[in-house]
A and B are shown apart, each in its own frame.
Chain A
Amino acid sequence: MRTVGQIVALVRKDLLLEWRGRTRGLSVVLFGVVTLLLFSFAVGPDTAALQTGAAGFLVLALLLSSTLALSESFRLEHENHALEGLLLAPVEPVALYYGKALSNTLFLLLLAPILTPVAVVLYAVEISLLDLAEVIGLWGLAAAGLSAPGTLFAAMTSRLRSQDVLLPLLLFPLVVPVMLGSVKAIDLVLTGDPMQQLGSWTMLLAGFDVIYWSLCGVLFTYVVEEGV
């Protein structure tokens, strides 16, 4: 119960900091919107092509925004040795990992209600409210899949030189199953699912989440012991 309490306190702390500062949130949201705009410029004024690629563009915007959000999440903890303070409090490393991963997931999840309507407008996608709810649900699974290894790698790379290069280099190849699963699933929601494939892609996302949320939680203790 103590661990759960610590996780809740850490998530609350991160969200409160985010609410008070708002800079990280605003910059990540703007970055996501700019990415969506760039995709439409790259494809050109071809509505059919934009509609076909809409799911992929949305997930890529999430993926690219996630590196900004993840790397920032540990930068704050290094200011004034906040991380050492947390560990001396003492906060268990497992609680620290799940607290950070959960707040990163929530933060990335909040991008969905903002970026999805932007994509709907830019790519001329027709979507009902029920579909939007489904897209947000799938986005949540994808955000959880990105946050689990992303939080672990962000902790490792946060103090290294060239962190901006290393984090995507480690994270992107690992999360290809998340990208494939979420693109296919969101595409099926947007364009229709006559072969009933949505369930299997959702299961792939959920399976990835279960594996990495368990594995990274165990491994984070060793990362912290060596001094993040």
Chain B
Amino acid sequence: MKRLRWDAILGLLGVLLLLVGSYIGLFLAPPDRHMGEVQRLMYVHVPTAWISMLVLTAAFVFAIASIWTGKPKWDAAMTGATEVGVVFGALLTAQGMIWAKPTWGVWWDWDVRLTTTLIMVVLYAGILVLRSFVDDPERRATWSAVAVIVGYVDVPLVYFCVRWWRSLHQIQSSPETVASSMVVPLRINSFAILFIAIWCIAQRARLEMARRRGESVALPPKRAPRTAEIPGTPQGVDNV
């Protein structure tokens, strides 16, 4: 029987925790006094926001390690983290829009938090496009690491913008300002999404390493097609 890898076990644990956390959030935790049932989106929206920023921070660290050491494993980890960051960022934006419609009355508002998040997603998606255009693996690793480092300036901006500028989006809450019955599913889902993110990054990094090994292996030379021998025809003489 095939043994499960550590990251797959972590991923499965993440899925299990997400089910438990979402059940508590949807059925056991009380609804918000002002927003009512819609507020239950918080149990996936807030963990997705935390983990997407954490994952992009990891991509930034991997990018520095990739430039510093030149080792392909850091480039693979950076690719995984960037891709997961883009997917989580897109999910975050979609969840935010679903929450915005019933509470703010619009799907989208050019609020500073929403705008910086959208920029973050588009920026990192652009880096993934850049990767697909560069054929040389070393050059691809360096250039995408440089782009990830340059783009990372936006990530702290996404987190702190609600404190620095007037925003429609609320500022960060703390366990002191949130009821404990709400904190429990929030924490469970945060760990769940973190584990799923680590699983996805590890899977993607492994795939990237395999792809890179494939690129370094030269393709075998094409064999000349065999000519069919016609019975009775002498070898080397054209059958005119």
Q: Which residues of A contact B (CB under 8 A)?
A: 149, 152-153, 156-157, 160-162, 166, 169-170, 173-174, 176-177, 211-212, 215-216, 219, 222-223, 225-227
A152 contact set on B, CB distance < 8 A: 146, 150
A216 to B142, CA, bound (A): 13
Q: Are B119 and A226 in contact (CB under 8 A)?
A: no
Q: Are B129 and A216 in contact (CB under 8 A)?
A: no
Q: Beta-carbon contacts of B52-72 to A below 8 Å, as 1s and 0s?
A: 000000000000000100000
Given A156-B130, A160-B133, A166-B130: A174 and B142 interface contact (C-beta under 8 Å): no
Give residues 128-171 of B contacting A (CB, 8 Å).
129-130, 133-134, 136, 138-139, 142-143, 145-147, 149-151, 153-154, 157
Q: Are B143 and A226 in contact (CB under 8 A)?
A: yes
Known contacts A173-B122, A212-B153; can you find 20 more A-B pairs with CB under 8 A?
A156-B130, A156-B143, A160-B133, A160-B134, A161-B133, A162-B133, A170-B123, A170-B130, A173-B123, A173-B126, A174-B123, A174-B150, A174-B151, A174-B154, A177-B157, A216-B150, A226-B136, A226-B138, A226-B142, A226-B143
A153 to B130, CA, bound (A): 10
Going nearest first, the 5 A-B pairs with the smallest beta carbon separation are: A173-B123, A169-B126, A173-B122, A226-B139, A226-B142
SS class, residues of chain A in contact with chain B = helix
| B115 is an interface residue with CB less than 8 A from chain A | yes
- Chain A residue nearest in CB terms to B116: A176
Given A226-B138, A226-B142: A166 and B149 interface contact (C-beta under 8 Å): no
B136, B138, B146, B157: the one within 8 Å of A156 (CB): B146
| B127 is an interface residue with CB less than 8 A from chain A | yes
B115, B136, B139: the one within 8 Å of A176 (CB): B115
Q: Beta-carbon contacts of B93-135 to A below 8 Å, as 1s and 0s?
A: 0000000000000000000000100010011001101100110
A160 to B136, CA, bound (A): 11
Given A160-B133, A173-B122: A222 and B150 interface contact (C-beta under 8 Å): no
A216 to B152, CA, bound (A): 13
B127 contact set on A, CB distance < 8 A: 170
A127 to B24, CA, bound (A): 62
Q: Tell me how far the C-beta of A146 lies from the nearest C-beta in chain B, rounded to whole angstroms.
A: 13
Give residues 144-201 of B contacting A (CB, 8 Å).
145-147, 149-151, 153-154, 157
A160 contact set on B, CB distance < 8 A: 133-134
- Chain A residue nearest in CB terms to B121: A173
A162 contact set on B, CB distance < 8 A: 133
Q: Tell me how far the C-beta of B118 lies from the nearest C-beta in chain A, rounded to whole angstroms.
A: 9
Q: Are B147 and A170 in contact (CB under 8 A)?
A: yes
Q: Are B142 and A225 in contact (CB under 8 A)?
A: yes
Q: Tell me how far the C-beta of A189 lies from the nearest C-beta in chain B, rounded to whole angstroms.
A: 21
A166 to B128, CA, bound (A): 11
A177 contact set on B, CB distance < 8 A: 157
Q: Are B126 and A170 in contact (CB under 8 A)?
A: yes
- Chain A residue nearest in CB terms to B112: A180
A211 contact set on B, CB distance < 8 A: 153
Q: Tell me how far the C-beta of B86 lies from the nearest C-beta in chain A, rounded to whole angstroms.
A: 12
A56 to B136, CA, bound (A): 40
Q: Are A227 and B139 in contact (CB under 8 A)?
A: yes
Q: Tell me how far the C-beta of B128 lies from the nearest C-beta in chain A, rounded to whole angstroms.
A: 10
A to B CB contacts below 8 Å, 17 in the list: A152-B150, A156-B143, A162-B133, A166-B126, A169-B129, A169-B130, A170-B123, A170-B126, A170-B147, A173-B119, A173-B122, A174-B123, A174-B151, A212-B153, A219-B150, A222-B67, A227-B139
A170 contact set on B, CB distance < 8 A: 123, 126-127, 130, 147
